[in-house]
């Protein structure tokens, strides 16, 4: 067991180097270094992959299996074995072809998006769908090809379960969106203007302090697309972005990434460098970022607490009542872009993508028809049709990465967050009051004890049941949305 752990920890150190090389790529690297840097990352990541897929790993897992006694050791073996067997099933040539294809595709996706022309991206996406199908064939599947893709991000969740959840959430959201039309629309003009980057930076740093992000074990930088990355033990970094004209962007990016980082900073030290030393799944991770961003960060009490600090930095808001500000940041809109979507429409954007992915991988639709299908679904779910492909089918980078199966994590994260929240308020009955007092520590402690401290020991649905006593139940999400937006829209 110790030999297996040492082997995995060695591999993890090469992955740490890859993380730092990637972080630097997005933050501080001089522009001319990009091409060589990609080669360096490829070399080190390839080495880590080779070490992990070596026969040595298989042998060590086999030997350790007979020794493992503690739950932690068993979990280490379970996660490592699953990853190992998966990696061994994909022929290296196919893996390499997939990497080369997606690396090219990203380039052409960017061009296609800039030129607002799906045809440029189409052949690359077709190739990716084809190779993804081959990979699924290698990995195997029972009911639905999409199960295999979903399992990469949300181990244990089946496509059929996801469809069932959507069959509840979709009509709820479509109806609620209609209902909101009759409410009082918040005025969000106050959120546009010219906001100093220095001030936004200062406020972002303040938020991190309020939310108990450990800056001695992390840091905040700037990148084009905000992200959280764990370089190694005591080194969980986040990035945000600042726009002079858009105040919301940096604030909620920072809180969102802080949510991810609090999860990572809460992983027990003795799980580090092992396969259990990370979040339970992509969606559990997203539940943490969404919890802090939306359930805490877009609540009235949160803003009542931070507003004095906020107004001290942004004196232009001194005469804006906090309720008005709170409503403004929660304005619901039938809009085109997922990343800018509010809490009500966000999941509709995800369902649309899931349905397209699931149909693509099962050969029920063709890549060439995506622009039309996209717009039809936009009309059906959100009620608006983008005028440009760059605001529609070309808006997300994910498909160019070949990340099919990833999008549902965003929706599941919202549902998990609402369900955790429901359970939490049973344990912390004065939740609202604590937020109002700025006591985020007791809330974080609850998440630490119930979720963060478990690392990847449990599969996500198992963890959810351990914490909430229930299977995934989308009603908590629906109740949360209904309650909150009924208030904001005076329904």
Catalytic residue annotation: 257
C-alpha 430: how far from chain center? 29
Q: How far is CA 33 from CA 29, 142, 221, 241, in A?
A: 7, 45, 19, 22
Q: Are strands 228-232 and 220-222 parallel, antiparallel or unpaired?
A: unpaired
Using a 10 angstrom Cβ sphere, with 0-12 exposed, 13-18 middle and 19 or more buried, the burial of residue 209 is exposed
| Nearest-approach distance from CB 123 to its own copies, in angstroms | 32
Identify whether the C-beta of residue 228 lies closer than 8 Å to the C-beta of residue 218.
Answer: no
Rounded Cα–Cα distance for residues 419 and 471 (Å): 10
| Nearest-approach distance from CB 31 to its own copies, in angstroms | 5
Nearer to its own copies, 12 or 144 (CB): 12
The full 3-state SS of the chain, as one line of letters, equals CHHHHHHHHHHHHHHHHHHHHHHHHHHCCCHHHHHHHHHHHHHHHHHHHHHHHCHHHHHHHHHHHHHCCCHHHHHHHHHHHHHHHHHHHCCHHHHHHHHHHHHHHHHHHHHHHHHCCHHHHHHHHHHHHHHHHHHHHHHCCCCCHHHHHHHHHCCCCCHHHHHHHHHHHHHHHHHHHHHHCCCCCCCCHHHECCCCHHHHHHHHHHHHHHCCCCHHHCCEEECCCCCEEEEECCEEEEEECCECCEHHHHHHHHHHHHHHHHHHHCCCHHHCCCCCCCCCCHHHHHHHHHHHHHHHCCCHHHHHHHHHHHHHHCHHHCCCCHHHHHHHHCCCCCCCCHHHCCCCCHHHHHHHHHHHHHHHHCCCCCHHHHHHHHHHHHHHHCCCCCCCHHHCCCCCCHHHHCCCCCHHHHHHHHHHHHHHHHHHHHHCCCHHHHHHHCCHHHHHHHHHHHCHHHCCCCCHHHHHHHHHCCCCCCHHHHHHHHHHHHHHCCC
Q: Binding residues for its own copies, per CB under 8 A?
A: 10, 13-14, 16-17, 20-21, 24, 28-33, 36-37, 39-40, 43-44, 47, 214-219, 221, 231-235, 237, 272
Identify whether the C-beta of residue 322 lies closer than 8 Å to the C-beta of residue 308.
Answer: no
Nearest by Cα to 421 from 285, 290, 279: 290
| Nearest-approach distance from CB 216 to its own copies, in angstroms | 5
Nearest by Cα to 420 from 282, 298, 291, 294: 291
Q: Could you tell me which residues are beta bridge partners of residue 235?
A: 232
């Amino acid at each position: 067991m110790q030999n297996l752990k040492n082997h995995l920890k060695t591999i993890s150190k090469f992955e740490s180097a890859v993380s730092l090389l990637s972080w630097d790529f997005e933050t501080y690297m001089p522009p001319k270094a990009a091409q060589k840097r990609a080669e360096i990352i490829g070399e080190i990541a390839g080495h880590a992959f080779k070490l992990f897929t070596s026969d040595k790993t298989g042998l060590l897992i086999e030997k350790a299996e007979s020794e493992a006694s503690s739950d932690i050791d068993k979990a280490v073996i379970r996660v490592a074995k699953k990853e190992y067997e998966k990696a061994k099933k994909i022929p290296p040539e196919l893996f390499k072809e997939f990497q080369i294809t997606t690396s090219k595709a990203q380039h052409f996706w960017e061009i296609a998006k800039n030129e607002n022309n799906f045809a440029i991206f189409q052949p690359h996406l077709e190739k990716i769908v084809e190779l993804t199908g081959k990979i699924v064939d290698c990995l195997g599947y029972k009911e639905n090809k999409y199960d295999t893709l979903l399992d990469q991000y949300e181990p244990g969740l089946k496509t059929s379960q996801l469809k069932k959840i959507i069959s509840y959430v979709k009509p709820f959201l479509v109806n609620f969106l209609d209902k909101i039309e009759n409410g009082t629309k918040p005025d969000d003009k106050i959120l546009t203007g010219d906001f100093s980057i220095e001030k936004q930076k200062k406020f972002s740093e303040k938020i991190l302090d309020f939310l108990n992000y450990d800056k001695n074990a992390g840091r905040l930088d700037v990148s084009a697309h905000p992200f959280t990355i764990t370089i190694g033990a005591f080194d969980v970094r986040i990035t945000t972005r600042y726009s002079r004209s858009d105040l919301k962007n940096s604030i909620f990016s920072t809180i969102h990434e802080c949510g991810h980082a609090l999860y990572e900073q809460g992983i027990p030290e003795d799980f580090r460098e092992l396969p259990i030393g990370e979040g339970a799944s992509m969606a559990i991770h997203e539940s943490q970022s969404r919890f802090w961003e939306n359930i805490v960060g877009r609540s009235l009490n949160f803003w009542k607490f931070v507003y004095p600090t906020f107004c001290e930095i942004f004196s232009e808001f001194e005469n804006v009542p906090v309720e008005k500000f709170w409503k403004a940041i929660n304005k619901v809109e039938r809009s085109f872009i997922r990343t800018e979507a509010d809490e009500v429409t966000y999941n509709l954007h995800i369902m649309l993508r899931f349905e397209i992915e699931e149909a693509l991988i099962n050969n029920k639709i063709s890549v060439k028809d995506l622009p039309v299908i996209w717009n039809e679904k936009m009309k059906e779910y959100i009620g608006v049709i983008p005028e440009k492909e760059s605001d529609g089918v070309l808006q997300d980078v994910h498909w160019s990465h070949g990340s099919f199966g990833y999008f549902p994590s965003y929706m599941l994260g919202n549902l998990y967050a609402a369900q955790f929240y429901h359970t939490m308020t049973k344990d912390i009955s004065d939740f609202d009051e604590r937020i109002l007092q700025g006591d985020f520590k007791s809330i974080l402690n609850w998440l630490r004890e119930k979720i963060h401290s478990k690392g990847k020991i449990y599969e996500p649905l198992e963890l959810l049941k351990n914490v909430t006593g229930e299977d995934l139940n989308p009603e908590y999400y629906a109740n949360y949305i209904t309650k909150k937006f009924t208030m904001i829209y005076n329904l």
